[in-house]
Structure 1
Amino acid sequence: MSASVPPVSVVLSRRELDAALFDLDGVVTRTAEVHAAAWTRLFNPYLGPSRPFTPEDYQRYVDGRPRLDGIRCFLESRGLALPEGSPEDGAEAETVRGLGQRKNAYFLEALAREGVGVYASSVELLERLRAAGFRTAVVTASRNGAAVLKAGRLEHLFDARVDGVEAGRLGLPGKPAPDTFLEAARRLGVVPARAVVLEDARAGVEAGRRGGFGRVLGVRRSGPEGALVAAGADVEVTDLAAVHVEGGGTGR
């Protein structure tokens, strides 16, 4: 084993699990950094220079949540309020829905400019899981999930996708509620106790725990050590190369 590869500390076995449910941004793709930059660009004009939007704000209030929930949650944390607005609001509107449109425009602008980076070890893990007979799904709050998967050429790695568009269509509450993960498990035909959730966001980890999933694996790309375990993960790793896959189940 190369010295650059983390030692194996987590084992996912087909004797215990049938499926793996992956968050997208920050777990499979590097778009979490693009999202964080877009949120910073969105919020800082509303904040004083002494209290700018921080990485901790991103992780605590918006990461993993549906876009409008993240806006409401962060504004409330700073004692700020805006009118809710309507779905017809454009990006120039000073409303919660207007800010949602603006943030998405910032994200898409950066995505077009920078493209989609992927974590090679995450793609390798997906390939190993599928070879071992695991079913896989992507569960993301992003309404751009399909576009990100296509740009990253990742569609073939997932049997199901539950993103922000699907959640809205079905009326599912977003993370930290477990509903989107439960819907993904339903689409895969597996019970939650036989599935593992892989998440980098506190809200997503909490959703996995609340959904009664067999394993909740925290992927710590940033932030303090132990924060994802405190939020409900069974264990956290900094790179998915640390995950070993065992076959031996009944197969698909």
Structure 2
Amino acid sequence: MPDARHPTDPLPRLDTLGLRALVFDLDGVVTSTARLHFGAWKALFDAYLETRDGPGFAPFTEADYMTLVDGRPRYEGVAKFLASRGIELPHGSPNDAPEAETVCGLGNRKNIHFNHLLTTQGAEVFPSSVRLIERLKAKGLAMAVNSSSRNCQRVLETTGLLPLFDAVVDGVYADEHGLPGKPQPETFLAAARLVGAEPATAAVFEDAVAGVRSARAGGFRLVVGIDRGAGRQALLDGGADVVVTDLGEFNLD
């Protein structure tokens, strides 16, 4: 487990660590689509629970989002949340209709909610994250995205960020290649491999505890936690070497 950095300790300079590549989670790190994902999950689960339990149902909360679904593949997130409420459904198939009362059916229903929010509200980016990517890409570092979302490609295209990245590993790629999702390390390892980097020469940037655990299990040179709500200590306990609240805290001058 890495030592907890005191908040006043200087951050490491990313251009002096011998890194060849940086691997970024997307939601909550580069883009602020986490709010869209939370909204989509809440719309899904609140409607489902109200139908199942009646008007006195306990709603889906931000704490549920952070601890049970954030950073996980969609169907795994469905199963995790339902299990936390003592609900067990058949897994079903990814081809299930959104109306199906299966894990996959609910997951597909969540995707409809997310795409509606993405279309109507759009995705915002964190300018400081984009600046860091642009500055270090100009210094010759390779850039990759590792997102559990199957909507990753669409978000990158709609925000104009796709040209910044040399490789994208998302939920679609993971399914096609049979890779387990976070907190297992395989998707981060695949992203590094696609840009020709070993974990010992790559850094990972994550806002979810599951993602931090994934990167730590992969043996990456540096694991940076971005605290967008998961909590500094939770990210450190998960395996982050350092935790920041914004990537603008790194000195690139």
Relative distance call for 1:181 and 1:197 in structure 2 (3 A) is: same
- Within the alignment, does 1:198 sit opposite 2:205 as a pair? yes
Q: Distance in 2 between matches of 1:244 and 1:164?
A: 32
SS in 2 for 1:21: strand
Q: What residue is the counterpart of 1:150 in the other structure?
A: 157
User: What SS is found at the alignment partner of 1:39?
Assistant: helix
Q: Secondary structure at the match of 1:244?
A: coil
Higher relative contact order (CA 8 A, sep 6+): 1
CA contact (8 A) 2:38 2:65 kept: yes
Q: Distance in 1 between matches of 2:228 and 2:150?
A: 22
Letter of the aligned partner of 1:26 in structure 2? Answer: G
Aligned residue among 170, 173, 179 for 1:172: 179
Q: Secondary structure at the match of 2:14?
A: strand
Aligned twin of 1:160: 167
1:128 and 2:135 are equivalent in the alignment: yes
Residue 185 of structure 1 aligns to a residue whose secondary structure is helix
Q: CA deviation at 1:224?
A: 2.9
Determine the C-alpha separation between the residues in 1 that align with 2:136 and 2:173: 25
**Hey, what does 2:32 align to over in structure 1?**
30
Alignment of 1:63 with 2:65, yes or no, is no
TM-score, scaled to structure 1: 0.91
Report if the CA contact (8 A) 2:208-2:230 is conserved.
no
Residue correspondences, number: 241
For structure 1, which runs of at least 5 residues remain unmatched after alignment? 1-6, 247-252
Cα distance in structure 2, aligned partners of 1:14 and 1:155 = 26
Q: What per-residue deviation string (whole Å, max 9, x for no partner) do you get for residues 71-92 of structure 1?
A: 1111111211111122331111
Residues in 2 aligned to 1:151 and 1:188: alpha-carbon distance in whole angstroms: 23
> Cα offset for 1:244?
2.4
1:12 corresponds to which residue? Answer: 14
Task: Determine if the alignment matches structure 1 residue 139 to structure 2 residue 141.
Answer: no
Equivalent pair of 1:29/1:116 in contact (CA under 8 Å): yes
- Distance, in Å, in 2 between the alignment partners of 1:10 and 1:59 is 27
Alignment partner of 1:99 is 2:106: yes
Partner of 1:24, secondary structure, is coil
4+ residue runs of structure 1 moved beyond 4 angstroms?
Answer: none
CA distance in 1 between partners of 2:207 and 2:12 (Å)? 16
The alpha-carbon distance between structure 1 residues 146 and 166, as it changes in their structure 2 partners (threshold 3 A), is same
Is the CA contact (8 Å cut-off) linking 1:91 and 1:99 kept in structure 2?
A: yes
SS at match of 2:13: strand
Alignment correspondent of 1:250: none
CA distance in 2, matches of 1:142, 1:183: 15
Unaligned stretches of 5+ in structure 2? 1-8
Deviation at 1:114, TM superposition (A): 0.7
Give, in angstroms, the shift of residue 18 of structure 1. Answer: 1.0
Give the Cα separation in 2 of the matches to 1:240 and 1:123: 9
Q: Distance in 2 between matches of 1:14 and 1:162?
A: 26
What is the 5 A alignment of 1:110-121? 110-121=117-128
Aligned mates of 1:22, 1:76 — CA distance in 2 = 29
Q: State yes or no: 1:214 paired with 2:221.
A: yes
CA distance in 1, matches of 2:11, 2:193: 29
**Structure 1 CA distance, aligned partners of 2:129 and 2:17?**
22
Q: Deviations over 1:116-143 (max 9, x none)?
A: 1000000001011111221110000010
Return the offset for 1:99: 0.3
Query: 1:8·1:244 contact (CA, 8 Å) conserved in 2?
Result: no
Q: Give the deviation of 1:227 after TM superposition.
A: 1.5
The answer to whether structure 1 residue 53 and structure 2 residue 60 are counterparts is: yes
Aligned-pair distance for 1:50? 5.8
Does the Cα contact within 8 Å between 1:176 and 1:204 map onto a contact in 2? yes
Instruction: Give the structure 1 partner of residue 97 of structure 2.
Output: 90
2:42–2:61 CA contact under 8 A, matched in 1: yes
